[in-house]
Chain A
Amino acid sequence: MVTLQLRKVEARYGRRIIYAEASTPEIAGGHLTALVGANAAGKSTLFRRIAGQLAGKGEVCIAGAEPGDLRYMPQDTGMSAALTVYESVVLALKQRQGGWRMGAEELDAVDKILSGLKIGALSDRHLAELSGGQRQLVSIAQTLVTRPRIVLMDEPTAALDLYRQYEVLEHLRAYAADTGAVVILALYDLNQVMRACTMTIAVAEGRIVAAGPTLETLRPEMIRKLYGIEARVETCSRGCPMMVVDRAVEDHEMSGYR
């Protein structure tokens, strides 16, 4: 079993401190964990710090996996190169293995992830010709093809239509269950979070304001604090929790930090 825990972690850009002392309970693998918070709350920053791209004091404790088993998928970044979708996924796989030759099981792994995300038909398309949603699916394929034990994905469903949002979350849930990996997703749609994620970490202004089981974390008071909206969490006709937004709270300014 893989676990991840933050202990008094600091994260900063140069001298600008975003997180002073971020701590979480132990996050266990095998299911999805959501990272929620308003725009500029510090979701991407926390991911970068965990992925080792930002400096800072404190400890990111990983058990059951090597630090090299971690993959962080950044928010959508453009991809332009005369590479096909297939080549770009091979590339991601080959960063770990090396060697110019492609083994049968490597080709297999690439085929499997492409068909798993239902983008097998895009194999021969060039990266530059993809739509935003297609690019996002390719990024997800690149991230998962090495079968990492710790996966951090920044807004993986942002550019996707409803069908693919559902498919991707389902795929990730199955991936976590299969591999026991810790999978943390930055998401904005709280209904998605309530349906798919067992654990939720909520951040605001560079602090972790709550972390725990999703339904205990995403209470109306917390939603109000995070997003500045009045919302209810109700049970739908099939018994699943869902959020209904009533109105926006006035003067909910975006924080400028320190």
Chain B
Amino acid sequence: MRMVVWEIRMPIALMAVTVGACLSLAGAQMQTILANPLASPFTLGISAAASFGAALAMVLGVALVPAALALMVPINAFAMAMLASLLIFGLSTMRGVTVETIVLLGIALVFTVNALLALLQYFASEQALAAVVFWTMGSLTKETWTKVAVTALILVVVTPIFARRAWALTAIRPGEARAVAMGVPVRRLRLETLILVSALAAVPVSFVGTIGFIGIVGPHIARLLLGEDQRFSLPGSILSGALSLSATSVLSKANLPGAVLPIGIIAALVGVPVFAILIFTNGRRSW
């Protein structure tokens, strides 16, 4: 029994905490630098690319990076996600590229990669297709201590970097012109943040698939409750993401004993009403 708890339950529980924290923090900073309340870690195509990478492994058995069979799916997913981020990053460094352009490029990438994914699925065997669909829905089922450690590591590395830039990141919110007037190097900050967010989102997504909702709602919950000052909203986003995904993970198992529903679905079904209540009962208007 102790074995079961330690080797199976515990990693799943901790994975929910770390993944929720990563995605929520990534979403918070994405919304900040893109000045867009709908932005999430996946706005720029990170999850779509990860899904495509995973599908390459599951459908065609193609490994983008030579790896052990067990790691082929997450490593493929990660490689594709980082490739997508680097592409967006590269385009963003070009002259005259504004926030709006970055978002448009991201959307173009999402559509392209989704089309490629659909193409793969079209040719996939029934078995592979089921695996791909399940993966893209996101699930916390087969977690290990290694995955928990890697996810926690990226969080521990990235959080202090954001913390040091808390004032500058807060200053972007009232508007780019104003931030520049305050002496914030907006362009550089945006590019740096883009890289950090990519890593922060790509790692958990590679392990657990797409759990999109947390990345949008987590930061909004934190902001609604704590305001825009990153000294509060940054730890707040981490906490709200960790708590939301943990709660969801518990719910997804409690619902149907025996069968475990994909957590991404539960997150959206339970999260939306909670989110709506917060929006309508809270006086703070940020966007």
Q: Which residues of A are interface residues toward B (Cβ below 8 A)?
A: 14, 53, 68, 71-74, 77-83, 87-88, 91-92, 94-96, 98, 100, 126-128, 139, 142-143
Most central of B170, B173, B178, B184 by chain A CB within 10 Å:
B178
Is B287 positioned at the interface, with any CB of A under 8 Å from its CB?
Answer: yes
Which residue of chain B is the closest to A84 with respect to CB atoms?
B227
Is B182 positioned at the interface, with any CB of A under 8 Å from its CB?
Answer: yes
Question: 4 tightest A-B contacts by CB?
Answer: A82-B286, A81-B173, A94-B167, A79-B174
Which residue of chain A is the closest to B163 with respect to CB atoms?
A100
Task: Supply 8 A–B pairs (Cβ within 8 Å), ascending by A.
Answer: A74-B180, A80-B174, A81-B174, A82-B285, A91-B167, A95-B184, A98-B167, A100-B166
Is B272 positioned at the interface, with any CB of A under 8 Å from its CB?
Answer: no
- Residues of chain A within 8 A of B175, CB atoms compared: 77-81
* Interface membership of chain B positions 242-286, coded 1 if the CB is closer than 8 angstroms to chain A and 0 otherwise: 000000000000000000000000000000000000000000111
> Are B183 and A82 touching (Cβ within 8 A)?
no
> Are A68 and B183 touching (Cβ within 8 A)?
yes
- Residues of chain B within 8 A of A71, CB atoms compared: 181, 183
CB distance from A14 to the nearest CB of B (A): 8
> Are A87 and B167 touching (Cβ within 8 A)?
no
CB distance from B238 to the nearest CB of A (A): 15
Is B171 positioned at the interface, with any CB of A under 8 Å from its CB?
Answer: yes
CB distance from B66 to the nearest CB of A (A): 44
- Residues of chain A within 8 A of B181, CB atoms compared: 71-74, 139, 142-143
Q: How far is the CA of A180 from the CA of B226 in the complex (A)?
A: 40
- Residues of chain A within 8 A of B284, CB atoms compared: 82, 126
Is B177 positioned at the interface, with any CB of A under 8 Å from its CB?
Answer: yes
Contacts A73-B181, A126-B285 hold; do A83 and B174 have CB atoms under 8 A apart? yes
Q: How far is the CA of A102 from the CA of B175 in the complex (A)?
A: 23
- Residues of chain B within 8 A of A127, CB atoms compared: 174
Is B63 positioned at the interface, with any CB of A under 8 Å from its CB?
Answer: no
Is B208 positioned at the interface, with any CB of A under 8 Å from its CB?
Answer: no
> What does DSSP make chain A's interface, helix, strand, loop or mixed?
mixed
Which residue of chain B is the closest to A99 with respect to CB atoms?
B167
Interface size on B, residues (CB 8 A): 27
A74-B177, A100-B163 given; 7 more Cβ-contact pairs under 8 Å: A83-B173, A92-B171, A92-B182, A95-B168, A95-B182, A96-B183, A98-B164
Q: How far is the CA of A79 from the CA of B185 in the complex (A)?
A: 18
* Interface membership of chain B positions 43-78, coded 1 if the CB is closer than 8 angstroms to chain A and 0 otherwise: 000000000000000000000000000000000000
Is B147 positioned at the interface, with any CB of A under 8 Å from its CB?
Answer: no
> Are A81 and B286 touching (Cβ within 8 A)?
yes
Q: How far is the CA of A165 from the CA of B287 in the complex (A)?
A: 30
Which residue of chain B is the closest to A143 with respect to CB atoms?
B181
CB distance from A96 to the nearest CB of B (A): 7
* Interface membership of chain B positions 142-173, coded 1 if the CB is closer than 8 angstroms to chain A and 0 otherwise: 00000000000000000000011011101101
Which residue of chain B is the closest to A145 with respect to CB atoms?
B182
> Are A80 and B287 touching (Cβ within 8 A)?
yes
Q: How far is the CA of A95 from the CA of B172 in the complex (A)?
A: 11
> Are A83 and B183 touching (Cβ within 8 A)?
no
Q: How far is the CA of A198 from the CA of B285 in the complex (A)?
A: 44
Is B231 positioned at the interface, with any CB of A under 8 Å from its CB?
Answer: yes
Is B229 positioned at the interface, with any CB of A under 8 Å from its CB?
Answer: yes
- Residues of chain B within 8 A of A68, CB atoms compared: 183
Is B190 positioned at the interface, with any CB of A under 8 Å from its CB?
Answer: no
Which residue of chain A is the closest to B226 with respect to CB atoms?
A82
> Are A81 and B167 touching (Cβ within 8 A)?
no
From the candidates B163, B167, B227, B287, name the one contacting A95 in the complex (CB within 8 A).
B167
- Residues of chain B within 8 A of A73, CB atoms compared: 181
Contacts A68-B183, A96-B183 hold; do A83 and B227 have CB atoms under 8 A apart? yes
Which residue of chain B is the closest to A127 with respect to CB atoms?
B174
- Residues of chain B within 8 A of A100, CB atoms compared: 163, 166, 231
Contacts A78-B175, A91-B167, A94-B167 hold; do A83 and B229 have CB atoms under 8 A apart? yes
CB distance from B82 to the nearest CB of A (A): 31
Which residue of chain A is the closest to B180 with respect to CB atoms?
A53
Which residue of chain A is the closest to B179 with respect to CB atoms?
A95
- Residues of chain B within 8 A of A96, CB atoms compared: 183
Q: How far is the CA of A79 from the CA of B231 in the complex (A)?
A: 20
- Residues of chain B within 8 A of A74, CB atoms compared: 177-178, 180-181
Q: How far is the CA of A31 from the CA of B99 in the complex (A)?
A: 39
CB distance from B122 to the nearest CB of A (A): 45
From the candidates B182, B184, B228, name the one contacting A82 in the complex (CB within 8 A).
B228
CB distance from A78 to the nearest CB of B (A): 6
- Residues of chain A within 8 A of B177, CB atoms compared: 74, 77
Q: How far is the CA of A96 from the CA of B177 in the complex (A)?
A: 17
